[in-house]
Amino acid sequence: MPALKLLRMAGHLLVGSVTILLLFPHLDRYERGRRVMLWSTRFLKVLGVRLEVIGRGPSVRAGGALLAANHVSWLDIHLLHSLLPARFISKAEVRNWPLFGFLARASGTVFLVREKKSDAVRVNQIMASHLRDGDCLALFPEGTTSSGSGLLPFYPSLFQPAVDAAAQVWPVRIRYLAADGGPCLDAAYFGDMTLGESVLKVLRLKGLRAQVTFLPPIPSPGLARRELAQATEAAIRASFVAEVPAAIPSAAPDSAPGNTVRLPAGRR
């Protein structure tokens, strides 16, 4: 079964790559977003992931929204892509991931060079411009992945564009469940695990459920970026209360491979 899933996944990635090369240059941003959503929905089915959505996110064409989610797995991006045509904020290294990096670039991901403090200013300007244009952006403000059993502290730097563009911030809770309804640690991509090891773990899973919870949006007017980050973190953290057994370990900051950025101390 894992071998069959792997072949189907490879085929789906190939289809996505060909679509990007041949069609994307001729499509507007709305049609590209629609096709990314469709591709991601099918990708989850190929992997055998059943998606459950709680609450309501921003309208597909409403735009001007910043999604801020906890970060558990490389699957997180595909979960959100299947629901919204969002641009993600990611660490620059993802550009070089085999196939996944190519797909990330084509879907409009904004990449940040973590080692350069000045690059955060550039990325913030790009994000604010996209938000003013009505785009939906998504980021993982923990800056790294964890087991999904808890929440790491949020970095407020990338909340500045929401303040500058007066955009709403939508807290999003992501969790993975096994067939029996308990937390599924094998879906997490954290610690010393390689991307290949994580992909193989996911392919071996049966009955994997992914749950995406959209919490009430937080208006940014009148809030500083740190206040906005704290309010968003508090909203997501509250959803963890008495939900997941404490025995499941959580990754320490900077210990995970992660998909997104962890900014230098000077940019927090």
Average pLDDT (155-163) is: 92
Higher pLDDT, 250 or 236: 236
- Closest-CA residue to 177 (of 206, 142, 203): 206
Q: Return the pLDDT at 258.
A: 41
Which amino acid, one-letter code, is at 116?
K
Q: Return the pLDDT at 70.
A: 96
Strands (E), the chain: 50-54, 65-69, 86-91, 110-112, 136-139, 168-177, 209-214
Confidence of residue 117 (pLDDT cuts 50, 70, 90): confident
Q: Return the pLDDT at 211.
A: 95
Whether residue 249 is predicted with pLDDT greater than 70 in this model: the reply is: no
Report the C-alpha gap between 43 and 37 in whole angstroms. Answer: 10
List pLDDT tens digits, range 170-201.
999 999 999 888 999 999 998 888 888 999 99
Domain 2-263, classified CATH 3.30.750, yes or no: no
Average pLDDT (97-125) is: 78
Whether residue 257 is predicted with pLDDT greater than 60 in this model: the reply is: no
